[in-house]
């Protein structure tokens, strides 16, 4: 940059600023400014031509006045004239004035653009940088239209100076963010990518920012940047003993735009770099200065984000979790916050979830002792994320304990999370009822309607918990200070099921009524209305209370109540109880029918509280393998999974956790006409496109457990209609193998579409959720999906395809997907026999007028239907010998393609769905598993033995099954996982 001469100090400007600062009042300041504006206006309008210095000085004064908050309505032309000056300081002030004061609709924009074009073509690097800075600062669409084609040429030109390249890259980034449709790289793409090899650090850093933004919208065009980014990592300067921290962070962030590299050498180099970063994090600090730790930790957290994004290196995921665990007790608050935030994401990976759970005590301690509320909130989020059936009671108890002293800003969200966890992981529903009532007692003011609606819905739908709920709520109402939400729950439950505890003299009908009525005068109008409905229910349940209740209804405080709703109820209920016969009364006041299962309204509220927009696939990953125990791991529902009461109950041998067998309850669509207690859940499922909308359970038929849904018998849903489906993508087998040992994740992604998947299995039944996300800003039109079953699979799996023996109930996929939106499709599966081929999913839609048509293999493999089987050592080897025929055994010896970490191997074997048997094999290094594949036709017992050889980096895998095709298929599937 040219040196500023002594004469450029602009003494008149300094004097003016000093005068403004010395003003004693606002009026004095305005007076001085008006005087100066009049002077400047006269100078600009005077006959005498001003020199460049004077113009610059007066334009600077106008800029200063504008920054003080005063309107400037002249001087713009003089600023534009400064752009034509050959002096740096004058041109700089002109550009500064234009960047701050000139808007895109100004009449001067054409003159400004001409001046900028002249400077860009001048080849004077200083003037070019000023022009580029002005374009970036204004960033208007008009600027983009004028210069979007010119700036890429400047960026990649061989004779452009490094400082200009850096400015050009950042200017192009700004224009792309404001007008992406006008910034088209086209022929410049490869040359822009190769800027990653530039020797100038400023150019590389700016280019990475540009490429990262471009890659997010057009990943395929810039995918060559992956290998260059990996090769550039950690090869430059060091900053406080840390190699190029800013550059490394940007490179790692760029790599998060892409899946793991396909090239083995590139992937190996990247894994080596990530391992180096994790290793260096374990080393003692080389400097005590804060710059060293900040730079080191910045790279570490970005590397962990990349490891989480890939979710394909179990060893790195576990190491990342262990490293973050060390930060949980760090003295630096920011590090503790970041560690908790990153571990929330790690908890969603099946490879690292168990490692995250080992830090539960530290996280609970952080929840109780952290001084910063934001850190406490992240600790609560992590507890929520790491919760599963094994630790649910402990976590819920700790969150309830913390609720008593929690900050008001997070109480409502904590209440929702406790309610969700209690329902999702309820081993028995008496614990669930106790938890929710305790929740109301501790934080009643923050318990939304959705929470107590949900507990009533579950109690009504489950006969086994109704008596306990009535007894518990009766005891809770005896407290002297009772929250109104408790009264609501008590009124509803006792009105429906008070007869179940009426046999105890301590909870006789009259005692129940007097207890409820003692709270009546303390409640709001809606609660009083509910209690009146409970009273009329009492008359039906307990005729001996009729006279007492009629006396209450007949009192002036009821039939002459100022509130019209209460008055009407009192009059109508009194008349009904007086003139109706016992049979009529019993019919009108019959027990509420079970509610149809819908998406949990609590989940919907939590999603709404977290922010608008569709649930991303990262949030989908928070599902944490809800079919885990059903498929061999611990049973854990997805954070965003179906919260139906039936799914959270203790599975019995005949339990149907997926809701595929149960028929819809009689009259479940709505309460009976005579029911006076309103359907408080009628709003819970109002959003028909909810992310977690559960299917209404189909009825059971004699041919299949999957019945046609209402209205589907005449025609198949649109989602199963297809013509000329495309052949499966070349990478379909690779995508399929990714899901052999896991049930959730991103199935497919390109620049237009992202397909996420969540699935759960129980015995020979399965349910799969597909999430189609539009990554563009343009609508997808005529979006249709078709599932087909190739060859022998047709008779073995009942699927969403129109073949014999098939009955299906599914929600059709929406034909139109808005830009940035996401739609869900549910698929039910029933396995009839063993199979090898996977079903095909064909997807068709129109994007920008062009037809998109491709097919994928759905990750439905035979191991998904495993039932884990525990065996003693003697039983295992006895069964092993029984399966000794050559055709019953499949064996494969292969080289390890991943690290031979014991914990990772265990996690994958559990993910396969079999039971991992401890202390069975004489060699403690070996792994043995047992399981039974459940099909409708037969059960196929399978045994597995995996013998790792760490020195040779080899495995020997042996599978024995009662059916030869199963042994062969399991061996093929599992060999690809190690």
Q: What confidence tens digit (pLDDT) does each residue in 248-287 have?
A: 899 999 999 989 988 889 989 999 999 988 888 888 888 8
Q: What angle separates helix 463-477 from helix 449-461, to the nearest 10 degrees?
A: 130
**853 lies in the same domain as 877:** no
Q: Is 23 annotated as a binding residue?
A: no
Give me the long-range contacts of 800-806 (CB less than 8 A, separation at least 24).
800/719, 800/720, 800/827, 800/828, 801/720, 801/839, 802/716, 802/720, 805/703, 805/704, 805/832, 806/704, 806/706
For residue 362, what are the CA distances in angstroms to 370, 383, 457, 914?
11, 10, 36, 32
Nearest one of 502, 448, 442 to 476, comparing CA atoms:
442
| Nearest CA-CA partner of 248 in 273, 281, 216 | 273
pLDDT at 682: 32
Whether 872 is covered by a domain: the verdict is yes
CA–CA dist 205, 774 (Å, integer):
30
* 53 belongs to an annotated ligand binding site: yes
Tokens of 512: 């129940």
Most confident of 566-575, 619-628, 635-644, 720-729: 566-575
Distance CA 449, CA 488 (A): 10
Does residue 829 lie within any of the structural domains?
Answer: yes
| CATH number of the domain encompassing residue 868 | 3.30.310.10
Helices (H), 685-829: 732-738
SS3 content of the chain, % helix, strand, coil (to 5): 50, 10, 35
Q: Can you spell out the DSSP letters for 616-643?
A: PHHHHHTT--TTTGGGTS-----TTS--
Say how far apart CA 840 and CA 735 lie, in whole Å.
12
Helix (H, G, I), strand (E, B) or coil at 101: helix
**Band of the pLDDT at 640, cuts 50, 70, 90?**
very low
Residue 54 counted as domain residue: yes
As a whole number of angstroms, the distance between CA 599 and CA 420 comes to 12
3-class DSSP state of 622: coil
Residue linked to tokens 């650090």: 201
Do 829 and 970 reside in the same domain of the chain?
no
* Dist. CA 845–CA 336, nearest whole Å: 45
Residue 911 lies in a domain: yes
Among residues 843, 860, 877, the one where a domain terminates is 860
Q: What is the pLDDT of residue 604?
A: 66
pLDDT at 607: 63
Q: What's the rounded Cα separation, in Å, for the pair 248 and 127?
A: 31
Q: Provide the domain count of the chain.
A: 4
pLDDT band at 681 (very low <50, low <70, confident <90, very high): very low
Q: Is 11 annotated as belonging to a binding site?
A: yes
* 579-638: pLDDT as tens digits: 888 888 888 888 888 877 665 666 666 666 654 333 333 333 333 333 333 333 333 333
Look at the alpha carbons of 726, 731, 737, 742 in this order and tell me if their dihedral is positive or negative. negative
**What number is the average pLDDT over the span 64-89?**
89
pLDDT at residue 635, as a whole number: 34
β-bridge partners, 774:
753
**Rounded CA gap, 958 and 940, in Å?**
16
- Residue 512 pLDDT: 92
Backbone angles phi, psi at 34, to 5 degrees: -60, -40
Where does residue 786 rank: exposed (0-12), middle (13-18), buried (19+ CB within 10 A)? buried
User: Which of 577, 542, 573, 540 lies closest to 558 in space, CA to CA?
Assistant: 573
Kindly state the helix (H) or strand (E) to which residue 852 belongs, with its residue range.
strand 850-857
Report yes or no: 829 and 797 within 8 Å, Cβ to Cβ: yes
Nearest alpha-carbon partner for 862 in 932, 957, 769: 932
- What are the E-state strand segments in 671-800? 745-749, 753-762, 765-774, 780-788, 797-798
Q: How confident is the model at residue 664 (pLDDT cuts 50, 70, 90)?
A: very low
Distance between CA atoms of residues 824 and 768, nearest Å: 10
Q: Is 624 annotated as a binding residue?
A: no
Do 431 and 538 share a structural domain?
yes
Share of the chain above pLDDT 90, in %: 25
The pLDDT, as a whole number, for residue 234 is 62
Distance of CA 962 to the CA centre of its chain: 42
* 8 A C-beta contact, residue 162 and residue 154: no
Using alpha carbons only, give the angle 349, 350, 353 rounded to the nearest 5 degrees. Answer: 75
CA–CA distance, 977 with 582 (Å, rounded to integer): 68
Question: Distance (Å, rounded) from C-alpha 440 to C-alpha 447?
Answer: 6
| CA distance from start to end of the chain | 58
Residue 720 contacts by C-beta under 8 Å, 6 or more apart in sequence? 785, 786, 787, 800, 801, 802, 808, 810
- pLDDT at 171 (0 to 100): 93
488 is in an annotated binding site: no
Q: 762: annotated binding-site residue?
A: no
- Judge contact between 455 and 496, C-beta under 8 A: no
Does the residue 953 lie in any domain?
yes
Residue 58 is assigned to a ligand binding site: yes
More confident residue, 70 or 613: 70
Structure tokens of 6? 């002594």
pLDDT in tens, 425-471: 887 888 989 999 999 988 888 888 888 888 888 898 888 889 999 99
CA distance 641 to 394: 21
**How would residue 742 be classed by pLDDT, with cut points 50, 70 and 90?**
confident
User: Which of 166-180, 204-218, 633-647, 956-970 shows the lowest mean pLDDT across its residues?
Assistant: 633-647
Q: What is the pLDDT of residue 597?
A: 64
Summarize the confidence of residues 522-539 as an average pLDDT. 92
In a domain, 226, yes or no: no
Q: What is the pLDDT of residues 744-793, one digit of tens each?
A: 888 888 888 899 888 888 887 888 888 889 888 888 888 888 887 665 44
For the CA atoms of the chain, what is the radius of gyration? Answer: 35
pLDDT of 65 above 90: yes
On average, the pLDDT of the chain sits at 80
pLDDT of residue 585: 84
Listing DSSP states for 121-185 in one string gives TS--HHHHHHHHHHHHHH--HHHHHHHTTTHHHHHH-TTS-HHHHHHHHHHHHHHHHH-TTT---
One domain, residues 439 and 536:
yes
Is 820 inside a domain boundary?
A: yes
Of 589, 608, 628, which residue is a domain's last? 589
Q: CATH code at 776?
A: 2.60.40.1230
Does the annotation place 61 within a ligand binding site? yes
Does 581 share its domain with 499? yes
Per-residue pLDDT, averaged over 819-838, amounts to 83
* Sequence-distant (≥ 6) Cβ neighbours of residue 293 within 8 angstroms: 285
pLDDT surpassing 60 at residue 343: yes
Residue 47 confidence (pLDDT):
66
The answer to whether 971 is annotated as binding is no
Six-digit token string for 785: 């999906």
Of 841, 860, 879, the position where a domain reaches its end is: 860
Model pLDDT, residue 284: 84
Same domain, yes or no, for 428 and 482? yes
Q: Residues 487, 533: one domain? A: yes
**8 Å CB contact between 832 and 730:** no
Q: What letter would DSSP give residue 726?
A: P
pLDDT at 169: 93
Instruction: Give the residue numbers spanning the domain of 933.
Output: 863-976
Q: In this predicted structure, what is the pLDDT of residue 714?
A: 37
Give the model's pLDDT for residue 33.
Answer: 92
Confidence label for 129 from pLDDT (cuts 50, 70 and 90): very high
Q: Do 887 and 829 sit in the same domain of this protein? A: no
* Judgement on whether residues 451 and 577 belong to the same structural domain of the protein: yes
Whether residue 894 sits in one domain with residue 856: no
User: What span, in angstroms and rounded, lies between the C-alpha atoms of 557 and 554?
Assistant: 8
Any idea what DSSP says for residue 704?
-
Whether residue 849 sits in one domain with residue 881: no
The pLDDT of residue 445 is 86
| Within a domain: 717 | no
Q: Which residue has the tokens 């507990």?
A: 455
Residue with tokens 């199979």: 835
446 and 585 part of one domain: yes
């Amino acid at each position: 940059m040219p040196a500023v001469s002594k004469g450029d100090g602009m003494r008149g400007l300094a004097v003016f600023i000093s005068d403004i600062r010395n003003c004693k009042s606002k009026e004095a300041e305005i007076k001085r400014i008006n005087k100066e504006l009049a002077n400047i206006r006269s100078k600009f309008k005077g006959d005498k031509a001003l020199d460049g210095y004077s113009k610059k000085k007066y334009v600077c004064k106008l800029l200063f006045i504008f920054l003080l908050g005063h309107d400037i309505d002249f001087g713009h032309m003089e600023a534009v004239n400064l752009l034509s000056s050959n002096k740096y300081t004058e041109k700089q002030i002109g550009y500064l004035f234009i960047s701050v004061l000139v808007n895109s609709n100004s009449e001067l924009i054409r003159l400004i653009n001409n001046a900028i074009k002249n400077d860009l073509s001048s080849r004077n690097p200083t003037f070019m940088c000023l022009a580029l800075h002005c374009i970036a600062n204004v960033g208007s669409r008009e600027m983009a239209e004028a210069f979007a084609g010119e700036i890429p040429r400047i960026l990649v030109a061989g004779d452009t100076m490094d400082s200009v390249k850096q400015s050009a890259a950042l200017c192009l980034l700004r224009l792309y963010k404001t007008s992406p449709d006008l910034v088209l790289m086209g022929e410049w793409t490869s040359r822009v990518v190769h800027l990653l090899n530039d020797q100038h650090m400023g150019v590389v850093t700016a280019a990475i920012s540009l490429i990262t933004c471009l890659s997010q919208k057009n990943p395929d065009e810039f995918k060559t940047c992956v290998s260059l980014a990996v090769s550039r990592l950690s090869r430059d300067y060091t900053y406080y003993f840390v190699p190029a921290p800013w550059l490394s962070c940007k490179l790692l962030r760029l790599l998060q735009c892409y899946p793991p590299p396909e090239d083995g050498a590139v992937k190996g180099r990247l894994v080596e770099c990530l391992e180096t970063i994790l290793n260096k994090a374990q080393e003692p600090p080389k400097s005590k200065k804060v710059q060293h730790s900040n730079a080191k930790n910045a790279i570490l957290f970005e590397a962990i984000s990349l490891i989480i994004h890939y979710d394909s290196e179990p060893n790195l995921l576990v190491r990342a979790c262990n490293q973050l665990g060390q930060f949980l007790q760090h003295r630096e608050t920011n590090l503790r916050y970041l560690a908790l935030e990153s571990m929330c994401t790690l908890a969603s990976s099946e490879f690292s979830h168990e490692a995250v759970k080992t830090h539960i005590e530290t996280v609970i301690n952080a929840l109780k002792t952290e001084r910063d509320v934001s850190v406490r909130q992240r600790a609560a989020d992590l507890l929520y994320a790491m919760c599963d059936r094994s630790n649910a009671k402990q976590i819920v108890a700790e969150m309830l304990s913390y609720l008593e002293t929690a900050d008001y800003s997070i109480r409502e969200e904590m209440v929702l999370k406790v309610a969700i966890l209690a329902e999702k992981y309820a081993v028995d529903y008496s614990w669930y009822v106790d938890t929710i009532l305790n929740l109301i007692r501790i934080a009643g003011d923050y318990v939304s309607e959705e929470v107590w609606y949900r507990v009533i819905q579950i109690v009504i739908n489950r006969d086994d918990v109704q008596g306990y709920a009535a007894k518990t709520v009766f005891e809770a109402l005896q407290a002297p200070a009772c929250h109104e939400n408790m009264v609501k729950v008590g009124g509803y439950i006792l009105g429906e099921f008070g007869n179940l505890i009426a046999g105890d003299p301590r909870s006789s009908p009259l005692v129940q009524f007097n207890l409820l009525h003692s709270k009546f005068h303390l409640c709001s109008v809606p609660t009083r209305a509910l209690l009146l409905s409970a009273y009329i229910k009492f008359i039906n349940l307990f005729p001996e209370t009729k006279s007492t209740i009629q006396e209450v209804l007949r009192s002036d405080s009821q039939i002459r109540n100022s509130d019209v709703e209460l008055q009407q109820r009192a009059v109508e209920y009194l008349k009904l109880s007086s003139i109706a016969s016992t049979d009529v009364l019993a019919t009108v006041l019959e027990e509420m029918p079970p509610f149809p299962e819908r998406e949990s309204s609590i989940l919907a509220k939590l999603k709404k509280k977290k922010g608008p927009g569709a649930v991303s696939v990262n949030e989908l990953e928070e599902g944490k393998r809800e079919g885990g125990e059903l498929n061999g791991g611990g049973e854990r529902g997805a954070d965003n999974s179906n919260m139906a009461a039936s799914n959270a109950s203790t599975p019995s041998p005949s339990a149907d956790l997926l809701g595929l067998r149960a028929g819809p309850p009689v009259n479940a669509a709505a309460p009976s006409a005579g029911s006076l207690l309103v359907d408080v859940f009628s709003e819970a499922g109002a959003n028909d496109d909810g992310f977690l909308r559960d299917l209404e359970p189909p009825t059971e038929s004699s041919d299949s457990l999957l019945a046609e849904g209402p209205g589907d018998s005449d025609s198949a849903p649109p989602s199963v209609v297809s013509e000329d489906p495309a052949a499966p993508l070349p990478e379909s087998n690779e995508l399929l193998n990714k899901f052999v040992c896991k049930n959730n994740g991103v199935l497919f992604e390109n620049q237009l579409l992202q397909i996420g998947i969540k699935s759960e299995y129980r015995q020979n039944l399965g349910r799969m959720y597909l999430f189609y996300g539009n990554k563009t800003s343009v609508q997808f039109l005529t979006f249709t999906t078709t599932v087909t079953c190739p060859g022998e699979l047709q008779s073995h799996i009942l699927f969403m395809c129109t073949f014999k023996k098939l009955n299906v109930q599914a929600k059709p996929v929406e034909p139109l997907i808005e830009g940035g939106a996401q739609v869900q499709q549910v698929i039910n599966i029933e396995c009839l026999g063993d199979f090898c081929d996977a079903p095909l999913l064909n997807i068709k839609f129109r994007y920008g007028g062009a037809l998109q048509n491709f097919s994928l293999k759905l990750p439905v493999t035979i191991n998904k239907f495993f039932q884990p089987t525990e065996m003693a050592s003697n039983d295992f080897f006895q069964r092993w010998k029984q399966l000794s025929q050559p055709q019953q055994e499949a064996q494969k010896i292969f080289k390890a393609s991943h690290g031979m970490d014991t914990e990772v191997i265990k996690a994958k074997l559990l993910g396969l769905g079999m039971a991992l048997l401890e202390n069975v094999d004489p060699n403690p290094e070996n792994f043995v598993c047992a399981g039974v594949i459940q099909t409708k036709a037969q059960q196929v017992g399978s045994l597995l033995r995996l013998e790792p050889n760490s020195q040779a980096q080899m495995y020997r895998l042996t599978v024995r099954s009662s059916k030869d095709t199963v042994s062969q298929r399991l061996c093929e599937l599992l060999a690809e996982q190690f």
